[in-house]
Amino acid sequence: MTTTTTHFKAYQSESATNPTLAYQTADDLAQSTSYINLAQGMGTDNDQQTSGELWLFNPSSTTYVKHFMARMENYQTSDYAQDLYTAGYLNTTSAVNAIDFKMSSGNIDDGTISLYGLA
């Protein structure tokens, strides 16, 4: 789907140096059909992981575009703890009936993806 997003993150190294809060211009999408980058640099060490929440508002509506926001936390491959924020909208008035999660490389080794609906 065509998407517009904005993205920023806070991060700090394992050695407690370089704490940073940064707007991520490179991860913004402007009417793009590319995948939305929710988490970055996920590592494969035993202490590296990702978790978070993705909120999709009114996905069954056939009147309005679909707004979303996500907050992800991960411990990434360069030994940085990250707190990532992404928000935007899917530029469609069609109902959203599927979500696809994709890794830029590798696979999801283990985990749980849960779906909750609120009325």
* Residue 95 pLDDT: 94
User: Comparing 5 with 115, which gets the higher pLDDT?
Assistant: 5
Average pLDDT over residues 20-26: 89
Nearest to 78 by CA among 51, 108, 40, 22: 40
pLDDT in tens, 74-117: 888 888 889 999 999 999 999 999 988 887 777 777 788 888 88
Q: Which residues pair with 90 in a beta bridge?
A: 3, 66
How far is 5 from 34, CA to CA, in rounded Å?
Answer: 11
CA dihedral sign of residues 56, 58, 62, 66: negative
Residues sharing a CB contact under 8 Å with residue 84, sequence separation 6 or more, in sequence order: 7, 8, 9, 38, 39, 40, 52, 70, 71, 72, 73, 74
pLDDT in tens, 31-73: 999 999 888 887 777 778 888 999 999 999 999 999 999 999 9
pLDDT(119) > 70: no
* Residue 100 pLDDT: 87
* Residue 106 pLDDT: 72
* Residue 26 pLDDT: 86
* Residue 85 pLDDT: 96
CA dihedral sign of residues 27, 111, 101, 116: negative
Please report, for the chain, the start and end positions of each structural domain, with discontinuous segments joined by +: 3-90
pTM: 0.84
